[in-house]
Amino acid sequence: MDKVADEKTMCAIDARVVSCTPICREHVVVEMALPGFPTSEAGQFVQLLCRSAHVAEPTGCDWPPDGFPSLSDKDLRDRQAFLRRPFSIADQWTTRDGSVHLCVMARVVGTGTRWLAQLQPGDTLNLTGPLGRGFRIPPPDVPLVLLGGGVGIPPLIYLTRRLSELGRRDVTVIIGARTRELLPVRLIDKPDEDGRPCACVKYPGGGRFDTIVASDDGSVGMRGLVTDALRAWHERRPSRNQNAVVCACGPAGMLKAAAVLTRELGLACQLCIERNMGCGLGTCLSCVVRARDDKQPQGWRWALACSDGPVFERDDLLDYGPDVGV
Ligand SMILES: Cc1cc2nc3c(=O)[nH]c(=O)nc-3n(C[C@H](O)[C@H](O)[C@H](O)COP(=O)(O)OP(=O)(O)OC[C@H]3O[C@@H](n4cnc5c(N)ncnc54)[C@H](O)[C@@H]3O)c2cc1C
Ligand code: FES
């Protein structure tokens, strides 16, 4: 049975789909309404059951004595996402009537995300969450840079809502994608081609933040990588930006580049990583990652991306994702 948990713990619950809309060529935004949901941190995630919760009984099974069984039920024949799939919370807010709205932004890459992309308003979506550890927001006098690449942008969008609520102003958002059509944000103005911060993105809750947009091919904003934009931003005001904290999320290669650059610039950095996740709850051990641990003779231990992360301090992580080590 569904359980709505108290404010702090996680829950498994049916959500009603409010809308499912494309935001760029590969991403859809799924907005859901729930009767209640614990308060989450930006960087935490939900595990979505990307198939109907209804399990079909095999009524149309034909099994000839000298052959193989053949199933005629559509539900049993079609490829389905058996395990839940992890998605960062891209937004969460409570409406006046007390219902909680959650958004995820899904890049359509396979069976589960294709199922998500065909959802219609009124459909039911079962989820568990909030899971994992999110970004640690530093004290108010510390400037923040949110650094997001492609599929890593959703948790940073949610972080902007939390920062707006806290009244934080000294925040720069640097986001990028390979090309304009793959950038999952709503632009309200033309981004500066020289990589100068401007208020060009529509953030949830009406937040306005200095934003730099970068694209590999120059089709939107400055041509280059988000790490090029971070270096340029730092060079513009090195002494003022020196104690900034960078919160980064994106593909493994981008996270490694962010780790190397922030170390070189002397900036603190938190990294939100992705791993294949079977359970999201710390039980299946499918999401292990090497984390620094000076108390161990070998200097590291296995950590779990789902429960020790997905957000880690840069210096605690010894690998960033498949095939991308320190
Ligand atoms: C903590 C966390 C947060 C995430 N947040 C987002 C998000 O906000 N938006 C988003 O689009 N994606 C996000 N992902 C990745 C997302 O979970 C996968 O893209 C999704 O599970 C693919 O499911 P599928 O059935 O469509 O693909 P499949 O058919 O299962 O596989 C297609 C491809 O996706 C990869 N993949 C499959 N399962 C996972 C998995 N559990 N984790 C990572 N990669 C996987 C496979 O290696 C393969 O390359 C997140 C992953 C993690 C671990
Ligand atoms: S996903 Fe199962 S232990 Fe992390």
Q: pLDDT, tens digit, for every residue of 25-84? A: 999 999 999 999 999 999 999 999 999 876 666 666 677 778 877 766 665 667 788 899
Taking a C-beta distance cutoff of 8 angstroms, is the pair 223, 126 a contact? Answer: no
Q: Is 279 in the pocket of ligand 2 (CB under 6 A)?
A: yes
The atom of ligand 2 lying closest to the CA of 275 is: 1
What is the pTM assigned to this prediction?
A: 0.90
Dist. CA 88–CA 86, nearest whole Å:
7
Find out whether the beta carbon of 289 lies less than 6 Å from any atom of ligand 2: no
Q: Report which of 91, 58, 88 is spatially closest to residue 75, judged by C-alpha positions.
A: 58
User: Ligand 1 centre and the CA of 260: distance in Å?
Assistant: 25
Question: For the chain, which domains are there?
Answer: 11-131 (2.40.30.10), 144-274+310-325 (3.40.50.80)
Atom of ligand 1 nearest to the CA of 310: 1
Element (H, E) at 127: strand 124-131
- Distance in Å, CA 64 to ligand 1 centroid: 39
Give residue 71's pLDDT.
Answer: 66
Alpha helix (H) ranges present in the chain?
74-77, 111-117, 153-165, 226-236, 238-241, 252-265
Alpha-carbon span 60 to 311, nearest angstrom: 46
Confidence at 284, pLDDT banded by 50, 70, 90: very high
